[in-house]
Amino acid sequence: MRNGVRHVLGAGAGLPATPLIAAGFLYSASQDPDWLATGALVAAMVLVGALCGSRISPLASLVPGLAFAGTAIFARTPWAGQVRADYAQAYLDLIDPWSLPAGAVLLAASIFPARWRGSERPEPVLVEEQAPAPPPLPKRIPSRY
């Protein structure tokens, strides 16, 4: 697979994974600790681990990593007070225990240069067309003179 296609597919995997991970974090934070909330948190962490895998483009982990780290950093700035109260509570639930660590893990998985390079393909060996060998020269005929 070419590098461009691999990165487009990685970004396409990272975009829907971001709200799925956030939903797992929010559900586990908003519920009393029971098996369903723990299952949502485990599913979110399994998705984070799958995005950090080396077989996928690093854009798959970079997109949600930037979103979670950016959310965690934004929530601690003075501008966070301008967000509506009902949204602010959701942000606080999201960043409370998991957003910054998950964002840091996802960003750390994206920085390795080997993940950005594609697999090395051997260059095809071009076989030059060889001209057919010329016919052998005739033996020298001694002259009679």
d(CA 141, CA 64): 86
Segments making up each domain of the chain, as ranges: 3-116
Alpha-carbon gap, residue 4 to 70, rounded angstroms: 26
pLDDT band at 26 (very low <50, low <70, confident <90, very high): confident
Give the tens place of pLDDT for each residue, 66-100: 988 888 777 777 776 777 777 777 767 777 677 88
Q: How many CB atoms lie within 10 A of CB 97?
A: 13
**Whose structure tokens read 């033996």?**
139
Pick from 23-32, 53-62, 106-115: least confident? 23-32
Non-local (6+) Cβ contacts of 29 within 8 A are 93, 94, 96, 97, 98
